[in-house]
């Protein structure tokens, strides 16, 4: 971020007061919030004088799967999730008869988190909604159209057919610091700062909605003296067929032998060297 110095008058003379050109707007009573992750804010660039890089070859190893696949997107499991939903819908105008209800399922979130029970399980968090298009007659000879969304959610731990890749954990806010002895040998050199910080990255687990089925019963309520109603209490069984996938390195040979050092083993070597 860019900063400027403004000089303000005080009891002791003039003093500098840094100001930020990219200030956030003043907080309002009705501030708009959104779910999208904001991008990184621009920062000052450090002057780099020299960079040394070194590389060496690592062996590429794949997983031996219970259900062999060739595609890099490994099918971890295909599961069926059922949600029982009870909802109340109020029509904008009284209805004499329901002619048709068209229903479509949409998922707004399907997040699979590796479970502490082991690599053969994930905790699944699903949210979504059923979009309904209700066509009804109000007794005037015309067909009215009304659209409404019915939200639902499911949280469940599920078993996998093929295990996920082993997760390497990064320890948050943990830095391995090296201190150098000062020239007088009486303590640490405060002008030299050295540290090691390690991060390990895992492939995310992806969800794919294969099919959706809705089993529904609608109860008509709130009738007037003309026999028209404007409220529907519905009881739905929403069944979802979901495939869980993860990008993995798949071994196509049968021996499963590894001749050299893998990337995962090298990560463990680096971790062991500083712990």
Task: Enumerate residues 6+ apart whose C-beta is below 8 A from 131.
Answer: 103, 104, 105, 106, 147, 148, 149
pLDDT of residue 98: 92
Contact by Cβ (8 Å): 232, 222: no
Q: What is the mean pLDDT of the segment spanning 125-154?
A: 90
pLDDT tens, position by position, 193-214: 777 777 777 888 999 999 999 9
Note the pLDDT tens digit of each residue in 83-102.
999 999 999 999 999 999 99
Between these two residues, 32 and 14, which has the higher pLDDT value? 32
Q: Tokens 């890749």 identify what position?
A: 165
7-35 b/e (C-beta count within 10 Å ≥ 16 → b)? eeeeeeeeeeeeeeeeeeeeeeeeeeeee
Q: Which of 24-33, 192-201, 234-243 has the lowest mean pLDDT?
A: 24-33
| Token duo for residue 22 | 């990219």
Residues 6+ apart with CB under 8 A from 143: 99, 135, 136, 137
Phi/psi of residue 274, nearest 5 degrees: -115, -5
According to DSSP, residue 34 is labeled -
Nearest Cα to 111, choosing from 133, 99, 128, 91?
128
pLDDT higher than 70, residue 223 = yes
Q: Looking at the DSSP assignment, which residues form a beta bridge with residue 215?
A: 237
Q: Return phi, psi of residue 263, to 5°.
A: -65, -35
Range 119-123 average pLDDT = 88
Q: What is the mean pLDDT of residues 174-185?
A: 76
For the chain, what's the residue count? 275
Give the pLDDT confidence score for residue 182 in this predicted structure. 80
pTM of the model: 0.63
Task: Give the residue carrying structure tokens 């956030």.
Answer: 24
SS3 115: coil
Q: How confident is the model at residue 73 (pLDDT cuts 50, 70, 90)?
A: confident
Q: Are 221 and 229 in contact (CB under 8 A)?
A: yes
Q: What is the mean pLDDT of residues 143-157?
A: 91
Position 176 scores a pLDDT of 72
The residue written with tokens 């990255």 in the block is 201
Within 10 angstroms of residue 74's Cβ, the number of other Cβ atoms is 24
């Amino acid at each position: 971020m860019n900063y400027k110095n403004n000089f303000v008058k005080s009891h002791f003379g003039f003093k500098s007061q840094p100001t930020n050109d990219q200030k956030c707007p003043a907080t309002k009573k009705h501030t708009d919030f959104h779910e999208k992750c904001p991008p990184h804010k621009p920062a000052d660039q450090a002057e780099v004088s020299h960079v040394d890089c070194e590389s060496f070859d690592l062996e590429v190893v794949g997983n031996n799967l219970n259900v062999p696949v060739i595609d890099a997107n490994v099918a971890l499991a295909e599961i069926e999730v059922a949600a029982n939903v009870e909802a109340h819908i109020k029509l904008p105008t009284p209805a004499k008869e329901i002619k048709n209800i068209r229903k479509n399922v949409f998922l707004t979130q399907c997040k699979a988190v590796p479970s502490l029970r082991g690599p053969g399980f994930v905790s699944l968090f699903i949210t979504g909604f059923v979009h309904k298009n209700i066509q009804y007659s109000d007794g005037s000879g015309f067909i009215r159209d009304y659209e409404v969304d019915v939200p639902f959610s499911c949280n469940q731990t599920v078993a996998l057919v093929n295990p996920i890749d082993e997760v390497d954990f990064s320890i948050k806010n943990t830095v391995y610091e090296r201190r150098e002895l000062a020239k007088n040998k009486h303590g640490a050199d405060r002008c030299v700062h050295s540290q090691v910080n390690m991060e390990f990255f895992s492939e995310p687990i992806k969800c794919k909605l294969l099919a959706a089925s809705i089993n529904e019963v609608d109860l008509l309520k709130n009738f007037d003296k003309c026999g028209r109603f404007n409220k529907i209490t519905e009881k739905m069984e929403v069944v979802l067929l979901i495939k869980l996938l993860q990008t993995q390195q798949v071994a196509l040979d049968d021996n499963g032998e590894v001749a050299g050092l893998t990337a995962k083993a090298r990560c463990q070597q680096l971790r062991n060297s500083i712990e």
